[in-house]
Structure 1
Amino acid sequence: MNRLTILVENSVRQRGLQAEHGLSFWLELGSVRLLFDAGQSDLFLRNARHLGIDLMTSHTVILSHGHYDHGGGLAFFPGWSRGPRLLAHPDAFVQKSGRYESSGLPWSFSDRPDIAARLLPCRAITQVADLAWVLTDIPTIEIWEQTDRDKGTKQMPEEQLLVIDGKKGLTVVLGCSHPGPVSCLRYVQRCFPGRSIDTVIGGMHLSDVTDIRLNQTIEALRELAVRRVYPMHCTGAASICTMSTALGHTVQYAQTGSTILIE
């Protein structure tokens, strides 16, 4: 059984767990274990311990992009000496500037040679398990997502997403969708021609976008015929509510501690 457990997200309802502004997923894909992002602190470790998840069994750690709320927790991960590789785009470790100046990683390779030694630079497509791939260098395909760049969309070639091919179609796991969530999905279609997108999980960076762009995103999801959408983190609570009203049961709610079956 393939499944994804949310170790860190902005919200929580389950007793004994905590939330923070960030994202961290634990994936069980057959015999392969993947850690996708690590939030901003050691919270992902504490929540995993409460959920009975042994992070030391991870084969690969995937960093979606170089922002503190996705990669800050990597500095607390105790398993680097045991050999998990860190799959990341090289630009994830470049200092951010402008609006995102304070959003970068709070640690560097010079401070953490143990993490640097595990880095596997990722470009284009990298297979991480049977029927699972990491995609990066994602272009902003939709013009209307390019026009709202100062409110979420940002040309970040470092952004990585995870694609899992299942019986019902593709599951796409997103970090923050800085190239634009619909552009991310269009790129997945381009890389996997003929395969439909069944499920989308993760941050969609819609918290500050205009109503016009939010409605365009909703219409694109409807046109793509995505069966399940789990928007969270930087998607924003108001945008999630609007999406739920428009798309009905397609939009599913998930918080810290939730488990999603990958079909």
Structure 2
Amino acid sequence: MNLRLLAALSFALALSFTAVRAAPPPVQSARVTVLSTMLAGDPLFKGIGEWGFSALVEADGYRLLFDTGLRPQTVLHNASELGLDLSGITDVVLSHNHADHIGGLLTLRREFAKKNPKALSRVHVGRGIFWSRGPGDDGKEENAAIALKAAYEATGGVFIEHDKPEELAPGVWLTGPIARTHPEKNYGTAGKVLTATGWTEDTIPEDIALVLDTTRGLVVLTGCGHAGAINTLAHARRTIRDTPIDAAIGGLHLLTGNDETLAWTSTQLRTLEVRRLLAAHCTGLEATYRLRERGGFTRATATVAAVGASYDSAKGLNSLVLAR
């Protein structure tokens, strides 16, 4: 191939890449409804709170389930009481291997497959979710995702492992591995994981987030934010679109954060132009209020998530009664 042709092809590829990144964000309408977290916030809704996280994500008609809570029946029960039918959903995203995010998957798959064989039949995960975490005190494998994999695949479901950003539907992105540019350690330090090079500290390497690229900005969902709350949000802007974040939703693992950590995180939220915060699960109640105060939010734009609470791209946050 001559140099002139090679240069022309390289220029064309560069233009193509630029055009893709400059295209208008494809998601016009987005909605996220919390199905598992610690609080059940509406006296007219008899939901179940638990230590876990799950959310229904809707983007221009495309629907997926992000995480599945801890107990087998929680998300199934809460979805039913909210009047949400999950049987038409094919895709599930599991943010990482911990039991409080994967516990409902098998029950949900078995239940909704009775109505639709394709229901919840495709699960997207980050590379490393099935790596051994070693035996616990009872001698059994610490990583519950390993046993879940075999049981889930026996139902006809499939796991898809991701090691880079992937677009599941127009404007609906998985982050892939999250660059840990800031020294956030949003995980325990006692765990070990077996990698290709041997045992090492378990930093939850498979931790992934979901990003909706909407006309109002990015919407970022995290299970626990083990890769770092700010690392995750910055990664979304760097890899998906460099635009303000209309909403950060989910667990941020700040419940044990000290004053210095919360002050720094609040400053970074301002820098990243985060407009709304629906803080669930392991974010922590006091931590959420500190972020609201120091991050420039109001009661309308930053709140503790409850079961049934929601984000709507046209209406903002609906925090229900208890968390207002």
Is 1:82 the counterpart of 2:89? The answer is no
Query: How far is 1:190 from its partner?
Result: 1.5
| Equivalences for residues 102-181 of structure 1 within 5 A | 102=142, 104-105=144-145, 107-114=147-154, 117-143=157-183, 145-146=184-185, 150=189, 155-181=203-229
- Following the alignment from structure 1 to structure 2, what is the Cα–Cα distance between the partners of residues 148 and 54? 34
Is 1:2 the counterpart of 2:30? The answer is yes
Q: Is 1:72–1:105's contact at 8 Å kept on the other side of the alignment?
A: no
**TM superposition score normalised by structure 1:** 0.89
Is 1:255 the counterpart of 2:306? The answer is yes
Deviation per residue, 1:74-95 (Å, 9 max, x gap): 1211245425311112421223
- Following the alignment from structure 1 to structure 2, what is the Cα–Cα distance between the partners of residues 216 and 97? 34
- Following the alignment from structure 2 to structure 1, what is the Cα–Cα distance between the partners of residues 261 and 189? 13
Q: Which has the higher helix share?
A: 1
Q: Which amino acid aligns with 1:229?
A: L
Query: How far is 1:192 from its partner?
Result: 2.8
Deviation per residue, 1:85-123 (Å, 9 max, x gap): 111124212233599x85744843233433574112222
Is 1:61 the counterpart of 2:92? The answer is yes
Query: How far is 1:154 from its partner?
Result: 6.2
Contiguous gaps of at least 5 residues in structure 1: none
Is 1:26 the counterpart of 2:56? The answer is yes
Is 1:197 the counterpart of 2:245? The answer is yes
Equivalent residue number for residue 321 of structure 2: none
Greater shift after overlay, 104-113 or 45-54? 104-113
User: Does the residue aligned with 1:215 lie in a helix, a strand or coil?
Assistant: helix
Q: Is 1:136–1:157's contact at 8 Å kept on the other side of the alignment?
A: no
Is 1:226 the counterpart of 2:274? The answer is yes
Equivalent residue number for residue 38 of structure 1: 68
Aligned length: 261
Query: How far is 1:230 from its partner?
Result: 1.3
Deviation per residue, 1:48-85 (Å, 9 max, x gap): 01111111111211111111000011121124542531
- Following the alignment from structure 2 to structure 1, what is the Cα–Cα distance between the partners of residues 169 and 231? 24
- Following the alignment from structure 1 to structure 2, what is the Cα–Cα distance between the partners of residues 156 and 68? 13
User: Does the residue aligned with 2:148 lie in a helix, a strand or coil?
Assistant: coil
User: Does the residue aligned with 2:87 lie in a helix, a strand or coil?
Assistant: helix
- Following the alignment from structure 2 to structure 1, what is the Cα–Cα distance between the partners of residues 148 and 127? 12
Query: How far is 1:241 from its partner?
Result: 1.8
Equivalent residue number for residue 235 of structure 1: 283
Q: Which amino acid aligns with 1:9?
A: T
Query: How far is 1:220 from its partner?
Result: 0.4
- Following the alignment from structure 1 to structure 2, what is the Cα–Cα distance between the partners of residues 222 and 258? 23
Query: How far is 1:227 from its partner?
Result: 0.8
Query: How far is 1:254 from its partner?
Result: 2.4
Query: How far is 1:209 from its partner?
Result: 2.2
Identical columns (%):
28
Equivalent residue number for residue 103 of structure 2: 72
Q: 1:140 to 1:198 in 2, by over 3 A?
A: same
Higher Cα Rg: structure 1 or 2?
2
Residue of structure 1 aligned with 2:129, choices 73, 84, 92: 92
Contiguous gaps of at least 5 residues in structure 2: 1-28, 191-200, 315-324
**TM superposition score normalised by structure 2:** 0.73
Q: 1:191 to 1:102 in 2, by over 3 A?
A: same
Q: 1:164 to 1:146 in 2, by over 3 A?
A: same
- Following the alignment from structure 2 to structure 1, what is the Cα–Cα distance between the partners of residues 134 and 180? 20
